[in-house]
């Protein structure tokens, strides 16, 4: 049976700043999304930017800096611009 993993990677521009593989069952999809938001916040956002990211959409201070996107074709979650973090589902063969 193939083992599935989340491949979590972080980039600052084109430079890879983080990489880790964790077993698929260790995190739900919601936990992966929260993790990506936390990693982007810790490595690249000012406190005011974090507040805006959690503000309601109608708030003047609202931003989308922590919006998590999903690429269905590659089973990848993406968050952030620079830095940005991704988590994609991989099997043992394509690690």
Q: Which domain holds residue 38?
A: 4-94
pTM, 2 dp: 0.91
- Give dist(CA 54, CA 78) in Å, integer: 17
- Give dist(CA 27, CA 24) in Å, integer: 6
CA torsion through residues 72, 75, 80, 81, sign: negative
Looking at residue 93, its pLDDT comes to 67
- pLDDT tens, 33-57? 999 999 999 999 999 999 999 999 9
Query: Which residue positions in the chain have pLDDT lower than 70?
Result: 93-95
Looking at residue 80, its pLDDT comes to 97
Q: Please state the domain count of the chain.
A: 1
């Amino acid at each position: 049976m193939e083992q599935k993993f989340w491949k979590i990677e972080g980039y600052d521009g084109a430079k890879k700043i983080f990489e880790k593989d964790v077993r698929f069952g260790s995190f739900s999809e919601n936990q992966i999304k929260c993790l990506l938001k936390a990693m982007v916040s810790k490595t690249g956002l000012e406190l005011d930017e974090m507040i805006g990211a959690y503000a309601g959409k109608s708030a003047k201070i609202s931003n989308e800096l922590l919006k998590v996107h999903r690429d269905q074709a590659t089973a990848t979650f993406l968050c952030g611009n620079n830095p940005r973090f991704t988590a994609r589902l991989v099997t043992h063969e394509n690690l």
